[in-house]
Amino acid sequence: MMKSFLVICIMVQTSSAILARKMDRCSLAKEMAKLGVPRDQLAKWACIAERESSFKTDAEGRSNPDGSNSYGIFQLKDLYWCQPSKGKFSYNSCGTSCNEILKDDINQSVRCAQKVLAQQGWSAWSSWKSCSGSLPSIDSCFQKALEFFI
Rounded Cα distance, 67 and 94, in Å: 19
Side-chain-side CA neighbours of 83 within 13 Å: the count stands at: 6
Tell me the CB-side half-sphere exposure of residue 36, using CA atoms within 13 A: 5
Task: Give me the pLDDT at residue 73, please.
Answer: 98
Q: What is the pLDDT of residue 100?
A: 97
pLDDT at site 8: 42
Give φ, ψ of 98 to 5 degrees.
-65, -30
Choice between 102 and 62, residue whose per-residue pLDDT is larger:
102
The yes-or-no verdict on residue 137 having pLDDT over 70 is yes
Q: What is the pLDDT of residues 37-83, one digit of tens each?
A: 999 999 999 999 999 999 999 999 989 999 999 999 999 999 999 99
User: Tens digits of per-residue pLDDT, 118-134?
Assistant: 999 999 999 999 999 89
- Does the pLDDT of residue 3 top 80, yes or no? no
Stretch 85-103: mean pLDDT, rounded?
Answer: 95
Residue 106, pLDDT > 50, answer: yes
Distances in whole angstroms, Cα of residue 105 to Cα of each of 37, 39, 64, 82? 15, 20, 25, 16
pTM above 0.95, yes or no: no
Position 14 scores a pLDDT of 38
Instruction: Tell which residue, 50, 51, 113, 106, has the closest CA to residue 82.
Output: 113
The contacts found for 6-10 with CB under 8 angstroms, 24 or more apart, are none
Between 86 and 98, whose confidence is greater? 98
What is the spatial distance between Cα 111 and Cα 58, in angstroms, rounded to a whole number? 16
